[in-house]
Amino acid sequence: MTDLLLTGIGHLVTNTGEPGDTAPVLDAAVAITDGKIEWVGATADADSAETIIDLEGRAVLPGLVDAHTHIVYAGSRAEEFAKKLAGESYEAILAAGGGIMDTVRSTRIATNDQLMDITSRRLGRMAGNGTTTVETKSGYGLDVETEVRILKTAALLAEESGVEVVCTFLGAHVVPTEYRVRRDAYVDLVIEGMIPECASHAEFIDVFCDRGAFDLDETRAIIEAGIAHGLRPRLHAEQLANTGAVDLGVEMGAISLDHLDHVTPEQAAKMGEAGTIAVLVPGVTLQMRTPPPDVASLRRAGVTLALASDANPGTSNVELMTTVIALGSLLFGMSVEESVWAATRGGALALDRGDRGQVVAGSRADLVVLMATHPAHLAYRIDQPVVYGVIMNGEIRHMAGSRRLI
């Protein structure tokens, strides 16, 4: 018998068609067995189940997939945020030993228990608001021991929370202060020291390839070493300036290129031809008060778009993918349907998780139930909680019970 049957779904987003162009199923039902979607159809055609929940017209989406975060860290950079609001640039703060290095110092001295406690609370907030799969990176250790600790913490959090946590090694985040005049030595440490120790704890490798971080030659060497240890590449690309990171990423087979504030139409065309996914992070656009990436060129080139939070203490202190969906529409000019697709199916493809981001028979049963009848409320009510319930891998994580429709 079916384990769980959801009926009375007013607006079901299945993501079975082109991005943002899938007709919803109205008055729908979804049957779930053994953690998988068993059947999708009209409520009138639904069979019986051990547990039946009438959602009374609420909208249902696939579980939200956050394909770019930095959530394992200690400390705060609120004072730095105030400096940026007063006119000091991110790059000036970084050059003075602040920014990422502030977080590195706090993370290095945090105990394992402290890191677990802090990050568990972050992940709990994300999961409670519909994030069912999350990628997270190292990069706040910048030494072998702490980089390994960050990745191990992420793996433990996955076991504890039930959220799938996909790990990325980002030892090449910035060159730490102690290596500032010995860049080559730090690149060697990443390649010869960190990657061999971290590769078994991660699936992907990332490099912050940009002005003030790592150049193209350094990035190539680090990515090649990661590939040799079985890690799949993705890149922070063209965020602060256009450095050619997109061209290098496409050449090296990166599954995704992220940020892309300064991507050109020609680079977008290369990404489209290669099938490289663009992971866009509107929280950074909001917090850094920078122009948005050229979404129109990416769209015209046929690039698959994903939206992610880039949750981090310095440039995007945004944790909730519901907020990211709103920002994708309000800042990037994406339709609500396109933003929802990018935050679900797009994120799943960016992490090579083809079994999620859709509501179809055989897919993983990760679902978000809204308190509203239509996903447009995600952008329309940007400052209000909109999630009514979350189902992860077929298990009900929470249902709000008596909350009325909004």
- Position 401 scores a pLDDT of 72
pLDDT tens profile 142-169? 999 999 999 999 999 999 999 999 999 9
pLDDT above 90: residue 91 = no
What is the distance between the alpha carbons of residues 188 and 155, in angstroms, rounded to a whole number? 26
Domain assignment present for 285:
yes
DSSP 139: -
The answer to whether residue 404 is domain-embedded is: no
Q: For residue 275, is pLDDT > 90?
A: yes
What total of structural domains would you count in the chain? 2
Assess whether pLDDT exceeds 90 at residue 105: yes
Are residues 267 and 133 located together in one domain of the fold? yes
pLDDT of residue 403: 76
User: Could you tell me if residue 406 is inside a domain?
Assistant: no
- CATH number of domain containing 245: 3.20.20.140
Per-residue pLDDT band for 179 (boundaries 50, 70, 90) equals: very high
Quick one: 30 and 139 in the same domain?
A: no
Q: Which pLDDT score is estimated for 402?
A: 66
Same domain, yes or no: 152 and 260 = yes
Confidence of residue 20 (pLDDT cuts 50, 70, 90): confident
Is residue 368 domain-shared with residue 259, that is, in the same domain? no
Whether residues 167 and 301 share a domain: the answer is: yes
DSSP output for 56-119: TT-EEEEPEEE--------S--HHHHHHHHTT--HHHHHHTT-THHHHHHHHHHS-HHHHHHHH
pLDDT digits (tens, 9 = 90+) for 348-362: 999 999 999 999 999
* Mean pLDDT of the chain, nearest integer: 96
| Domain co-membership, 98 together with 37 | no
State the pairing for strand pair 36-42/25-33: antiparallel
Rounded to an integer, what distance in angstroms lies between the CA atom of residue 335 and that of residue 99? 33
- Specify the CATH number for the domain of residue 393: 2.30.40.10
Q: Is the domain of 210 the same as that of 309?
A: yes
Whether 389 and 242 map to the same domain: the answer is no
Q: What angle do CA 80, 83, 85 make, to 5 degrees?
A: 115
Mean pLDDT value of segment 163-178: 97
CA–CA distances in Å: residue 120 to residues 114, 153, 245, 269, 278: 10, 10, 33, 40, 28
Q: CA 235, 241, 247 angle in degrees (round to 5)?
A: 45
Tell me what pLDDT residue 90 has: 82
Whole-number pLDDT of residue 57:
97
Name the pTM for this structure: 0.96
54 inside domain = yes
Last residue of a domain, one of 312, 327, 350: 350
Q: What is the CA radius of gyration of the chain?
A: 21
Are 337 and 393 part of one and the same domain? no
Contact of 29 with 9, CB cutoff 8 Å: yes
pLDDT of residue 248: 99
Residue 95 belongs to a domain: yes
Q: Is the pLDDT at 17 greater than 90, yes or no?
A: no
Residue 56 lies in a domain: yes
Looking at residue 305, its pLDDT comes to: 99
Q: How confident is the model at residue 405 (pLDDT cuts 50, 70, 90)?
A: confident
- Residue 256 shares a structural domain with residue 135: yes
Domain range for residue 53?
Answer: 4-62+358-399
**pLDDT over 80 (residue 112):** yes
Q: Do both 108 and 252 map to the same domain?
A: yes
Q: What's residue 84's pLDDT?
A: 86
For residues 114-121, give the mean pLDDT: 97
* Better-scored residue on pLDDT, 97 or 335: 335
52 and 75 assigned to the same domain: no
Local confidence band at 21 (pLDDT 50, 70, 90 cut-offs): confident
| pLDDT the model gives residue 97 | 80
